[in-house]
Amino acid sequence: MSELLNRRLALLGERANLSLLEQCLHGIERECLRVTGEGRLAQTPHPEELGSALTNELITTDYSESLLEFITPALPDPADTLASLDSIHRFAYSKLGNEYLWSPSMPCPLPAEEDIPIAYYGTSNIGQLKYVYRKGLALRYGKTMQCIAGIHYNFSLPEKLWPLLKQAEGFVGTDRDFQSSSYIALIRNFRRYSWLLMYLFGASPALDAGFLRGRSHQLEQLDPHTLYLPYATSLRMSDLGYQSNAQAGLTPCYNDLNSYTDSLRKAVATPYAPYVEVGTHKDGEWVQLNTNILQIENEYYSNIRPKRVTYTGERPIQALMARGIQYVEVRCLDINPFLPMGIDLTESRFLDAFLLYCALNDSPLLTNTNCGNATSNFLSVVKEGRRPGLQLQRDGQPVDLKEWAGQLLENIAPLAALLDQSHGGDAHSKALDAQMAKVQDPSLTPSAQVLASMAEHKESFAQFSLRQSQAHAEFFRSEPLPAEQQAKFEARARSSLADQVELEQNEVGDFDVFVGAYQASILAISN
């Protein structure tokens, strides 16, 4: 245990400060494909009964018209966050007819690239911007990659905690600077240790053989319709997922907020030759928002992002630069196909202890070597995390994954204990014990269980996934929402449709001008 961590634990453990940790906020975004009864991609438009994908804050679409995204509010108790996610699922299922929500992260058997529908958001300028951005993603990375789904876990520490730590540590600078530098320190530690999350929660060791569209790969054939790696934890997070030559040179430095926002600002303003060659228009139609490394900052794919709630019309980078970091978004979590919502309270409680450890522990700046090791450790674990005797790199030395994982969990234990002390009960310590059991016995990991279940039922990846999807549908449909709650969801859906219509009717200005102004907003702060 570092001296800094011990001091911070002691400070937060004081009676006057203990209740602070009950004020952490948790939000979840869960993506999932809509599929037919046969487990094929649904080609139907976003169901109108779910409201407008543009203006309904709880239910939207991600890349494809078929890729739903459920968004909870940020709440202090993750049990309430999950209850909110459960309600959204139940409401969605009341409107899905004979369609299902696909249970894992890796997609169902997909149609031809050109038949994967891009999400449509109507005729308003902001709706068109979202659509053209997705056309750009299709052009740059292909549509198949965009059908991968995940869980994003949003987490913030209480605003009152930062001034307390800042004063105790004699930090020179504003409260906002201290808060931002502390979140950046959390992100650095997350980069160091996130391989552990892939071992514990990775749940995509196999995929549908058609996913690779005949590209060359290093996967093994499990059956005529399934590819896999025997020790993989998360093929979703491997280099099979997003491959971007344009982004290869873009490694935002997490040593301070300015260097991070600078690298993203430059990427949004720097032309990339292959995209320049394509241009922004084809046959008079927009095909991408610009010809730069990134069209917008959200195009940068990372395992964790610093975030700040944006105002209307404000860009994520502008919000961060103006008001500092407010929370982090963990983006590397697979959907667990055995869980109806893809995540449960045990995982959430452990994530809280893990993120608190990342936030409060020493976090030296990352050198290029450290950065390289963090990346290679992560990739080793997603491809072969359950391989007996797998070695990772720590401080330039090889270390056994099992040994390092055990030590990390021991180091996180006091944080779990502190959270339990704050909340009452022992839920966080129990969640930690459940992870320790997976380190001792790899067959308990979700990735091992997926392969075991497929073997037991003699199923392909697609058959296994559809069976799980049907089981989850039954779980949600067998107990509909109480009438009052259902009515609230329906009213929200209706008002979101009305909001979209109003936006479209009152739209002023031409789309090309709108895109120009949107581009200029980033260039204006790039000096």
Tracing tokens 């961060």 back to the chain, one arrives at: 320
Which amino acid belongs to residue 415? L
Choose among 423, 453, 428, 267: nearest CA to 357.
Answer: 428
Q: Does domain 3-121+143-275+291-501 have CATH number 3.30.590.20?
A: yes
* pLDDT beyond 90 at 245: no
At residue 89, φ and ψ (nearest 5 deg) are -60, -45
pLDDT tens digits for 271-296?
A: 999 999 999 999 999 999 999 999 99
In this prediction, residue 473 has a pLDDT band, given cuts at 50, 70 and 90, of: very high
> What's residue 216's pLDDT?
87
* pLDDT beyond 70 at 11: yes
* Residue 325: strand, helix, or coil: coil
Structure token pair of residue 328: 């982090």
- Count the helices and strands in the chain (H runs, E runs): 19, 14
Q: How many CA atoms lie within 13 A of 429 on its CB side?
A: 10
Tracing tokens 């129990």 back to the chain, one arrives at: 430
As a whole number, mean pLDDT of residues 173-186 equals: 96
DSSP of 82-121: HHHHHHHHHHHHHH-TT-EE--SSSPPSP--GGGSPBP--
As a whole number, mean pLDDT of residues 497-516 equals: 96
> What's residue 527's pLDDT?
47
Residue 422 near residue 77, CB atoms below 8 Å = no
- Domain layout of the chain by residue ranges: 3-121+143-275+291-501
Question: What residue ranges in 352-474 does DSSP mark as E strands?
Answer: 391-394, 397-400
Structure token pair of residue 99: 């369609």
At residue 31, φ and ψ (nearest 5 deg) are -95, 145
Tell me the β-bridge partners of 292: 271
What is the rounded distance in angstroms from the CA atom of residue 56 to the CA atom of residue 494?
Answer: 9
What average pLDDT is seen over the chain? 95
What is the rounded distance in angstroms from the CA atom of residue 55 to the CA atom of residue 62?
Answer: 13
Q: What's the predicted TM-score (pTM) here? A: 0.97
* Residue 335: strand, helix, or coil: coil
